[in-house]
Amino acid sequence: MARAMVSRPAARRLGWRMQRRSRGCRIASALVLVLACADARVSAAGSDAAQPSPAAVEDPTTGYFRFDMDKFGTQLWAGAYRKVGSLTFASDVYILDKLAELDLGLTFGFGKLSLTGFAGVTFDFGNANFYNLVVPQLISAYSEDAFYAESWLQLFLGSPFADAGQNYFYTRDFVVFKVADELKLGGYVELTYQINDLSGVTVGPMTMGEKSGVLSLPVGVAASIGYGKDNTLLLFLGYETNRKTAPDSSDKIAGRFSYIHSW
């Protein structure tokens, strides 16, 4: 089964967390990708002719730890997959500042393609309140020796918890191709689109909410670098095409550095 690199930065993920993003887009995108299920590891016990040991069994649990750095700051992730019978359950926790997101879902494998569906909720511990719902979510990953592709599709719903809560769609998509044993290079695109119109809603002192439409649309190049056993560096450097996000006075540089350790 393919292993997603995300695995779920404009709100999980991107933060996910565009509600605060509406206040300068403090909270990111997003995976997510979350993520796709890691290959189960097999451990075999030694055998003895007179006293046979138990047969080799699959480890039912795999997991990962990840941190990202982008314009929203440092984001921490941890997730796991647990195989129970014919089903693989997925879970992860994402932390950004005083926000914490919990996601639960199922992963399905189709050869080299893995699909993970999640439903999540974000807690705002700073204000002792719920922040948004993150549902539905679909994290897809396809892995070949020659290339790797990953896609996040997520919907963030802040309006159930606040009049100024943002509802927005987020997608993060990239594909990288092998150019050396531990190096893949390719392209990357990320879209954050606000669904509800908050232009007439006060979201802060002397601050009104965003209109519906594109909040952010960076495009650029991506690199995946093997960094020792079970470690990956995922780098993105690009250009913010949305003028509202990157005014003419800025250099419009967009990017994200990620470190992922899986087991």
pLDDT at 201: 85
The radius of gyration of the chain's CA atoms, rounded to the nearest angstrom, is 20
pTM to 2 decimals? 0.77
Residue 81: inside a domain: yes
Q: What pLDDT was estimated at residue 4?
A: 53
Task: Tell me whether residue 217 is in a domain.
Answer: yes
At 20 the three-state DSSP class reads helix
Give the residues across from 66 on adjacent strands: 77, 260
Beta strand pairing call for 61-70 and 57-58? unpaired
pLDDT in tens, the chain (263 residues): 444 554 444 444 333 333 333 333 333 333 333 333 333 333 333 333 333 333 433 678 999 999 999 999 999 999 999 999 999 999 999 999 999 999 999 999 999 999 999 999 999 999 999 999 999 999 999 999 999 999 999 999 999 999 889 999 999 999 999 999 999 999 999 999 999 999 888 777 767 788 899 999 999 999 999 999 999 999 999 999 997 776 666 678 999 999 999 99
Q: In sequence order, which residues have a C-beta less than 8 Å from that of residue 240 and are 6 or more positions away?
A: 216, 217, 218, 246, 252, 253, 254
Q: Answer whether residue 184 is part of any domain.
A: yes
Query: Quick one: tokens of 19?
Result: 């509600």
**Per-residue pLDDT, 60:** 86
What CATH number has the domain bearing residue 159?
2.40.160.40
Task: At 164, list the tokens.
Answer: 């100024």
Split into its structural domains, the chain has a count of 1
DSSP string of 138-175? EEEEEE-SSEEEEEEEEEEE-TTT-TT--EEEEEEEEE
- pLDDT at residue 63, rounded to an integer: 96
103 is a domain residue: yes
1 in a structural domain:
no
3 in any annotated domain: no
With respect to residue 242, please indicate whether it lies within any of the assigned structural domains: yes
20 phi and psi angles, rounded to 5 deg: -70, -20
Nearest residue to 152 via CA among 1, 3, 2, 7 = 7
182 within domain boundaries = yes
> Domain range spanning residue 151?
10-38+60-262
The pLDDT of residue 209: 81
Q: Is 137 exposed, middle or buried (0-12, 13-18, 19+ CB in 10 A)?
A: buried
CB 134 within 8 A of CB 12: yes
